């Protein structure tokens, strides 16, 4: 039902969260509360005395922090005074949550703003604003933010840092009367961008503490921030980061922000993940079929595309149970290394005289799906396309940015460039009946200029349109978002893609950290996780097969290894692991993520519990040498405390040694006991792991 309210504040509640909004006007609505569940709204009199945070705060509201909307008309009119144009429209969802739409205006400034707030039944709150220029002349947007209040108890900020091969490592700071800002100006989401930018009670962890998280669902420049002033409620939020002159609205023009996502949990970071994972799984676009075990050939062959060798990889893959085969970089015109070819999306006749058909047919005859690597948003200066259209670079005339990875960015916001790339991708997908593309994006957008002005905003929208149009033409086509590994993982790109490559780092030990923090936002079935060679290609570290398979099990699993070089024992172990992955997918890819606040920082203890809590899979990974030599106490939360569980070692992965003998736990314990007392596990050598399987009896 939709109706208008002019009386008491509105309460929307879903999951563990509530938002209370004073809509009584005439000014913009105030958010009186965002956090734990409340059962009733304050009275009108009470709400007048509350601080709250104006939905789009400005100096006219007494807010001296970052404004919700900032912009100007040729330098004039920098301060808006928005008032509601009509009573807000409120929809209450019987399943929980609902929505509020607010129309506001500043007639003197010639600006209208529509604000939309949607609280999903899972408890995820989405906010976006649309700004319209109703005045004369151009209005330039400097920034439009989604900001919500957080209480004084939110005294600590969790952010992430990172770089190529070491994405999204956590860092914490105190949140006093200060501004904590994470800005990204790289033109893509970034290796360091937080999956969720979190404020919480001091010392919060995965399973304890009250936390408030925000995520900007945008694949270009963006900002996350938390700000606390001495005379107002603190706010948490973010939005697109607009550079000078990037969004200029002619009369009648509009700018719509990306969705900004907010989640609350009274029980730590796992509660935030429960909300975001459940919401993502409820989307119509979320992958519904089993996530196929994937072999990507990049680390097996690199640019050496020899048909016989690639067929041999497919044959070996079929023997051990691989379900998807992906031909990576090197198949197109002139692409013998990474210095040439990007933009020339034609199969290279020198390497592939019969096209890709001999390999594609061979792979499919083995019962395996076929996928292909592309990087459509980039161009090599050494390419036919660059020679024919040197003006198609995303750059100012006469000011080409420095090459990164021997490449430039193709200005796909230019209609001719967009049409060319769409035609080439459409032709390749059509000819080979592709069902999967690994879509890469291997450089930052530096000095990005489109049509004479800053170009990241238009480039990002064009990339979205390109993916959307290609998938519209080819229903069922799945696309993986890869950007130098994990530099484009966000809910903007995931609104139209089916998988993310969390990192180019395939070392099993490093991936333990990376996947843990990517998983704060993204459920495991979306995160590509591959078993690589014993000697890792990125860092040269040697790790055992057990650690590598355990790490890859808790994601969308695959292989990044020349398996034609494997010993019979390695192939048998891989085949058993693949069988385990297929057997466990119903739990791994639908269950709740559990990350234990384990007291030993040298180890990770984590798992997935099925929605009905009948089944669970937990991993223990020893990352480094422990300070303790005593047996490990394993506390396993998230189970049904009233149920009895049989606990066994996962049979398809070899048992670790404990005091010279294979460890074979076979115990019956209640969920309450497993969460409280736990059970005793073996002392592992560094870089080793094992998996426990639990079934309700």
DSSP helix/strand/coil, 5: coil
Tell me whether residue 439 is annotated as binding: yes
Residue 100 in contact with residue 125, Cβ under 8 Å?
no
Q: Is 14 left (phi over 0), alpha (psi -120 to 50) or beta?
A: beta
Residue 393 in contact with residue 411, Cβ under 8 Å?
yes
Tell me whether residue 471 is annotated as binding: no
DSSP annotation of 400: P
Is residue 440 annotated as a catalytic residue, yes or no?
yes
Residue 602 in contact with residue 623, Cβ under 8 Å?
yes
Tell me whether residue 561 is annotated as binding: no
- C-alpha 160/C-alpha 177 separation (Å) is 21
CB atoms under 10 Å from CB of 308, counted, come to 7
Residue 370 in contact with residue 434, Cβ under 8 Å?
yes
- C-alpha 694/C-alpha 304 separation (Å) is 44
Tell me whether residue 91 is annotated as binding: no
Residue 522 in contact with residue 168, Cβ under 8 Å?
no
Tell me whether residue 164 is annotated as binding: yes
Closest CA to 115 of 71, 135, 81, 85: 85
Is residue 308 annotated as a catalytic residue, yes or no?
no
Tell me the pairing of strands 527-532 and 556-560.
parallel
Q: Let me know if 630 is exposed, middle or buried by CB neighbors in 10 A (0-12, 13-18, 19+).
A: exposed
Tell me whether residue 442 is annotated as binding: yes
- C-alpha 367/C-alpha 325 separation (Å) is 10
Active-site hit among 504, 507, 576, 688: 504
**Token duo for residue 63:** 């807010």
**Token duo for residue 20:** 């209370």
Tell me whether residue 576 is annotated as binding: no
DSSP helix/strand/coil, 584: helix
DSSP state string for 317-363: HHHHT--EEEE-S--BTT-SSTTB-TT--SB-TTT-TTTTHHHHHHH
Closest CA to 135 of 103, 108, 104: 108
Angle, vertex CA 514, rays to CA 513 and CA 517, nearest 5: 90
| Residue found under tokens 């005045």 | 135
- C-alpha 393/C-alpha 407 separation (Å) is 10
DSSP state string for 641-670: TTSEEEEEE-TTSPPPEETTEE---EEEEE
Tell me whether residue 504 is annotated as binding: yes
**What is the helix (H) or strand (E) element at residue 151, kind and residue range?**
none
Residue 400 in contact with residue 411, Cβ under 8 Å?
no
CB atoms under 10 Å from CB of 577, counted, come to 28
Active-site hit among 440, 444, 490, 507: 440
Tell me whether residue 440 is annotated as binding: yes
- The torsion of the CA quartet 285, 289, 291, 292, rounded to 10 degrees, works out to -130
Tell me whether residue 315 is annotated as binding: no
Buried-exposed string 111-142: b where 16+ CB fall within 10 A, e elsewhere: bbbbbbbbbbbbbbbbbbbebbbbbeeebbbb
Q: Is 188 left (phi over 0), alpha (psi -120 to 50) or beta?
A: beta
Residue 455 in contact with residue 411, Cβ under 8 Å?
yes
Tell me whether residue 482 is annotated as binding: yes
Please list the helix, strand and coil fractions of the chain in percent, rounded to the nearest 5, in that order.
20, 35, 45
Angle, vertex CA 658, rays to CA 657 and CA 663, nearest 5: 70
- Binding positions for substrate are 164, 328-329, 405, 438-442, 482, 504
Give catalytic residues, as residue numbers.
440, 504
């Amino acid at each position: 039902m939709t109706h208008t309210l002019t009386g008491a504040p509105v309460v929307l509640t879903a999951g563990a969260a509530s938002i209370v909004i004073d809509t009584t006007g005439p000014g913009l609505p105030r958010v009186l509360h965002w956090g734990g569940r409340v059962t009733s709204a304050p009275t009108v009199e009470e709400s007048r005395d509350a601080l709250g945070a104006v939905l789009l705060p400005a100096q006219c509201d007494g807010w001296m922090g970052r404004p919700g909307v900032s912009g100007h008309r040729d330098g004039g009119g920098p301060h808006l005074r928005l008032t509601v144009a009509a009573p807000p429209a409120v929809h209450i969802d019987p399943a929980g949550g609902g929505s509020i739409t607010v129309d506001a205006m500043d007639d003197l400034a010639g600006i209208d703003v529509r604000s939309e707030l949607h609280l999903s039944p899972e408890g995820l709150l989405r906010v976006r604003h649309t700004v319209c220029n109703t005045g004369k002349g151009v209005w330039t947007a400097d920034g439009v933010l989604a900001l919500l209040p957080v209480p004084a108890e939110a005294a600590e900020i969790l952010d992430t840092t990172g770089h190529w091969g070491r994405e999204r490592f956590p860092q914490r700071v105190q949140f006093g009367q200060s501004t904590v800002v994470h800005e990204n100006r790289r033109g893509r989401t970034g290796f360091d961008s937080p999956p969720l930018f979190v404020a919480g009670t001091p010392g919060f962890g995965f399973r304890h503490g009250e936390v408030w998280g925000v995520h900007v669902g945008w694949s270009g420049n963006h900002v996350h921030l938390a700000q606390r002033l001495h005379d107002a409620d603190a706010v948490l939020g973010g939005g697109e980061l607009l550079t000078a002159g990037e969004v200029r609205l002619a009369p009648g023009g509009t700018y719509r922000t990306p969705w900004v996502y907010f989640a609350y949990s009274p029980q730590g970071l796992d509660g935030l993940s429960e909300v975001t994972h459940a919401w993502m799984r409820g989307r119509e676009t979320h992958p519904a079929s089993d996530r196929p075990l994937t072999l990507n050939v990049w680390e097996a062959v690199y640019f050496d595309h020899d048909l016989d060798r690639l067929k041999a990889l497919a044959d070996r893959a079929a023997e051990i149970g691989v379900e998807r085969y992906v031909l990576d970089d090197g198949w197109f015109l002139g692409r013998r290394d990474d210095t040439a070819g990007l933009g020339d999306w034609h199969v290279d006749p020198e390497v592939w005289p019969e096209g890709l058909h001999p390999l594609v047919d061979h792979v499919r005859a083995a019962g395996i799906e076929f996928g292909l690597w592309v990087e459509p948003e980039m161009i090599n200066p050494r390419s036919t396309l660059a020679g024919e259209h040197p003006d198609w670079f995303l750059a100012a005339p006469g000011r080409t940015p420095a090459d990164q990875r021997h490449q430039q960015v193709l200005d796909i916001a230019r209609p001719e460039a967009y049409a060319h790339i769409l035609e080439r991708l459409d032709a390749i997908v059509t000819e080979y009946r592709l069902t999967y593309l690994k879509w890469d994006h291997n450089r930052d957008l530096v000095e990005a200029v489109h049509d004479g002005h800053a170009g990241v905003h238009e480039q990002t929208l064009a990339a979205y349109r390109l993916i959307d149009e290609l998938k519209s033409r080819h229903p069922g086509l799945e696309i993986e978002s890869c950007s130098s590994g994990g530099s484009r993982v966000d809910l903007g790109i995931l609104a139209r893609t089916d998988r993310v490559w969390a990192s180019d780092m395939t070392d099993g030990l490093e991936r333990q950290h990376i996947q843990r923090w990517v998983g704060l936002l993204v459920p495991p079935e979306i995160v590509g996780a591959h078993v690589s060679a014993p000697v890792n290609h990125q860092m040269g570290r040697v790790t055992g097969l057990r650690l590598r398979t355990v790490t890859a099990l808790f994601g969308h699993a695959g292989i990044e290894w020349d398996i034609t070089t494997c010993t019979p024992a390695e192939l048998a172990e891989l085949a058993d692991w693949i069988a385990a992955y297929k057997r466990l997918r119903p739990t791994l890819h639908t269950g709740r993520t559990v990350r234990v606040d384990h007291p030993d920082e040298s180890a990770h203890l984590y798992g997935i519990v099925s929605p009905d809590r009948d089944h669970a899979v937990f991993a223990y990974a020893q990352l480094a040498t422990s300070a303790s030599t005593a047996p490990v106490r394993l506390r396993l939360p998230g189970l049904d405390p009233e149920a009895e569980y049989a606990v066994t070692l996962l049979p398809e992965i070899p048992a670790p040694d404990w005091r010279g003998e294979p460890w074979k736990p076979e115990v019956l314990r209640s969920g309450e006991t497993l969460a409280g007392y736990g059970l005793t596990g073996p002392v592992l050598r560094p870089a080793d792991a094992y998996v426990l399987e639990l079934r309700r009896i």
